[in-house]
Amino acid sequence: MIKPNSTRSEDWTRFMKAAVKLVTVVVPMWAALKSLWPYVLEVLHTGKNIPVEEARRWGFEIRPSKW
């Protein structure tokens, strides 16, 4: 059976922390475009792992684990 690499709670906690960081960053408009980009990428990166881990919990492999 395929085992998930993390729990649902860990997945959602990581995702929500990244989302909160994105929302709480307050900077002037010009700097915002440059400084928010890493936070946007972090939210997208953490969120995309949730469907992968959920599939593993159900026994399906969407993206093979790294060796």
Q: Does residue 65 contact residue 5 with C-beta atoms inside 8 Å? A: yes
Q: Is residue 65 part of a domain?
A: no
Per-residue pLDDT of 24-56, as tens digits, reads: 665 555 566 677 778 778 888 877 788 888 888
Q: Is residue 44 part of a domain?
A: yes
Average pLDDT value for the chain? 77
More confident residue, 62 or 30: 62
Domain of residue 32 covers: 8-57
The reported pLDDT for the residue numbered 3 is: 78
Inter-axis angle of helices 8-24 and 29-57, to 10 degrees? 170
The reported pLDDT for the residue numbered 20 is: 78
Number of domains in the chain: 1
Least confident of 7-11, 22-26, 46-50, 59-63: 22-26
